[in-house]
Structure 1
Amino acid sequence: MRRLGVSIYPEKSTPEQDKDYLKKAASYGFSRVFTCLLSVQKPKEEIKADFMDIISCAKGLQMEVILDVAPAVFNQLGISYDEPDFFAELGADGIRLDLGFDGLKEAQMTYNDYGLKIELNMSNDVAYLENIMTHQPNTANLVGCHNFYPQKYTGLPYEFFISCSERFKKYNLRTAAFVTSEHAELGPWNINDGLCTLEEHRNLPIDIQAKHLFATGLIDDVIIGNAYASDEELEQLGKLNPARLELSVELEKNVSLMEKTIMFEETHIRRGDISEYMVRSVDVRKKYASRSVKSAATPAQKRGDIFIGNDSFGKYKAELQVVLKDMPADERKNKVGHVRKEELFLLDYIRPWGSFTLREI
């Protein structure tokens, strides 16, 4: 099951603000929390009190909590990686190792007595995970999560991100990555140009960032890196179907009720013997074969345009097509809409036999 998550930074906010945010996020279906010990500069007992309070709230909301740590944090707090009882006492479900150890230690940590998840940093394309796997970890307690990047132009490039992520999916490990809110201002450091994993996401709407990560098929959990995301952003993500790509569509004028029904009330499946020029959803033409689709506007076909076969198209009447490559006008097809400009790149993720839905903007 794919999940949504939020981040909180207790040292930069108040317990009341964090609790309100967690309650709001939970109401929209968010079920995990990322928080960070890397930037906390307090005595051990103060840290314990602060984090126990907020983690207790999250657990009451049925949210999983992962704490970001590094070897320096273990040293600072006098904690042994062999017995991470301090994190269990806080109520955390796991710890994320921002920096790793030697492979053997990580493997041993997955056998801790508290069932804590050990979350590895995914944003390095080296044989780090392979080294850990040679030491026979308990994979039930081993998961991965990418970094976020507060400074603009420092996020991961796409191909590198894919290569890193594939290392983890090869072992069927759960994975996570970060998206950024355009409204949130809190992060662990004093630089916050957005807290995303992929650099290309930094200026995209948050729902498109999340759609993209899920569409890769390599990310299970999408977490908002900065706090606090707006109510609208939480709602947008909460409405997403993480398992199926949904494209936002700008509707043409004078589209018929029948055409709207075909577009928005059906789950579309791309034909398996694909065309490079269009995504063909053919099951709908069978369902609506007896219904009329009157001829309408038939301009030249541009990438992202959506067409439906009209009554003059014979057996192809009511077939829905999403244009991938520009083509001449075809009077047998009506233009009914266009995929939102910012989402055009998502067309490349509709694979043979892949399913998708359309949503009117």
Structure 2
Amino acid sequence: MRSVGLGVYFGIKENRPKYRDYISEAKVFGFSEIFMGIGFILKEKNVDKELKEIRDFSIYAENLGYYVFTDINPEFMKFFNASPDNLEPYLKTGVKGIRLDYGFNVEEMAKIIRNARRLNLYVELNASIFSEGDLERLSKLTDFENVKASHDFYPPLYTGISLEEVIRKSSPFKRFGIPVGIFVGSNREKLRNTVESLRKYSPWQAEEILFATGKIDRVIIGDPLEDSQDLKKEGEVASRDYIKIRVIPYNISDEERKAFNHVLYSRKREFAVSAGDYIENKVTPRCVVRKFRGSVSIMTNRPDYIEVWIWTKDSPADPTFTIIGEVLEEDMQIVDLVEDHDKILLEAIESRFT
């Protein structure tokens, strides 16, 4: 099940007065998680005051229905006078999840997971650095009932990892049924991203691509204080259980328009992705031309079934297919990620050149 979350950072003190209104507004749009950055506290003098503010915010967020998690590492353990056998000091923060950023071995992680369970805490594994072998070893020491995973984010340009690497690193967690989270930057800042190539996209477009991988369950908008309209779009993507692909339609008939705004079920082919459902189909051969990568066509002469073909390779003209449009160029990355039995919906959009 998809979910979408927010990043808030208490070290940016000028933002603190805005956070409660921010998360309240985002909740309306379906946001349900918060990654809370509290690394600043290691250098604070008035720790009790800061901890109270962090705890009060965590409780406020939880009362709204948010799951709140934060990073920990051995330095934090020492600061909080905690250990893998004693996690109770973290309850002072009010968070419901502790993310093991770095510095723990597999045996320590197993202890942390078991002891966190007794305190009704989730443990987040670092999906960017945790190896498949370590995950296998960990599975022999504990179950994963209270375990999630989430990737790192990389603010400086050109420091993020590739989408292919995210898929590779996330796959073992999915095999164990562990939900995987990832960060995308806001539309304004584009700083706290996991995937470098997605930094250029709007956050909701990046979100669409990430969910289409089938390896990502949770997307966190890493940069704080996202704009309202962007929050709304990001919430809409997470609310769906299907992949949306934007298509520029040609001069199509009402019958051909049935290809749009219906959830269709996909199959991956050598030259295309096909998707269909049982809908009356009176489409006849009309625009029979060579198909190029990104062409969208409907199969003709199938009276009880609409079957759309999105071509991923060039192929010759064939009266079996009538061309109805073309996929928006940036959405072809989504098409390439579609697998058998995915649910997809084609959205007709205006050409950006008209």
**TM-score, normalised with respect to structure 2:** 0.87
Shift, 1:160, TM fit: 2.8
Q: Deviations over 1:108-138 (max 9, x none)?
A: 122223111111111125333334334x224
Q: Which residue in 1 is equivalent to 2:280?
A: 288
C-alpha distance in 2, partners of 1:299/1:76? 68
Identity of aligned residues (%): 27
Aligned residues: 342
Alignment of 1:26-105 (within 5 A): 26-40=27-41, 41-42=43-44, 43-105=46-108
Q: 1:123 aligns to what SS in structure 2?
A: coil
- Say whether 1:261 aligns with 2:258: yes
C-alpha distance in 2, partners of 1:345/1:151? 24
Contact 1:3–1:242 (Cα < 8 Å) also in 2: no
Q: Which residue in 1 is equivalent to 2:291?
A: 301
C-alpha distance in 1, partners of 2:168/2:230? 29
Q: Name which of 247, 253, 272 aligns with 2:245.
A: 247
Q: Deviations over 1:252-307 (max 9, x none)?
A: 2x32333223322x221224xx53222233434xx314x4x366544432212212
Q: Which residue in 2 is equivalent to 1:225?
A: 222
Alignment of 1:1-361 (within 5 A): 1-12=1-12, 13-40=14-41, 41-42=43-44, 43-112=46-115, 113-124=118-129, 126=131, 127-134=133-140, 136-184=141-189, 194-240=191-237, 241-252=239-250, 254-264=251-261, 266-271=262-267, 274-284=268-278, 287-289=279-281, 291=282, 293=283, 296-309=286-299, 313=301, 318-330=306-318, 333-361=321-349
Q: Which residue in 2 is equivalent to 1:187?
A: none
C-alpha distance in 1, partners of 2:276/2:137? 47
Contact 1:37–1:73 (Cα < 8 Å) also in 2: no
C-alpha distance in 1, partners of 2:40/2:101? 12
Q: 1:39 aligns to what SS in structure 2?
A: helix
List gaps (5 residues or longer) in structure 2.
350-354
Deviates more, 1:80-89 or 1:340-349: 80-89
Q: 1:357 aligns to what SS in structure 2?
A: strand
Shift, 1:84, TM fit: 2.0
Q: Which residue in 2 is equivalent to 1:190?
A: none
Shift, 1:46, TM fit: 2.3
Shift, 1:29, TM fit: 0.5
Q: 1:73 aligns to what SS in structure 2?
A: helix
Shift, 1:147, TM fit: 0.4
Q: Deviations over 1:185-205 (max 9, x none)?
A: xxxxxxxx6211112211122
Q: Which residue in 1 is equivalent to 2:352?
A: none
Q: Deviations over 1:202-236 (max 9, x none)?
A: 11222221122222222221111111222222122
Contact 2:260–2:346 (Cα < 8 Å) also in 1: yes
C-alpha distance in 2, partners of 1:209/1:238? 13
List gaps (5 residues or longer) in structure 1.
185-192
Deviates more, 1:314-323 or 1:195-204: 314-323
Q: 2:40 aligns to what SS in structure 1?
A: coil
C-alpha distance in 1, partners of 2:273/2:94? 48
Shift, 1:61, TM fit: 1.3
Q: Which residue in 2 is equivalent to 1:189?
A: none
Q: Deviations over 1:18-68 (max 9, x none)?
A: 112111211111111101122333232122112112212211210100011
C-alpha distance in 1, partners of 2:142/2:40? 29
C-alpha distance in 2, partners of 1:247/1:203? 18
C-alpha distance in 1, partners of 2:299/2:168? 40
Distance 1:251 1:95, change over 3 A: same
**TM-score, normalised with respect to structure 1:** 0.86
Shift, 1:159, TM fit: 3.3
Distance 1:161 1:262, change over 3 A: closer
Shift, 1:11, TM fit: 2.2
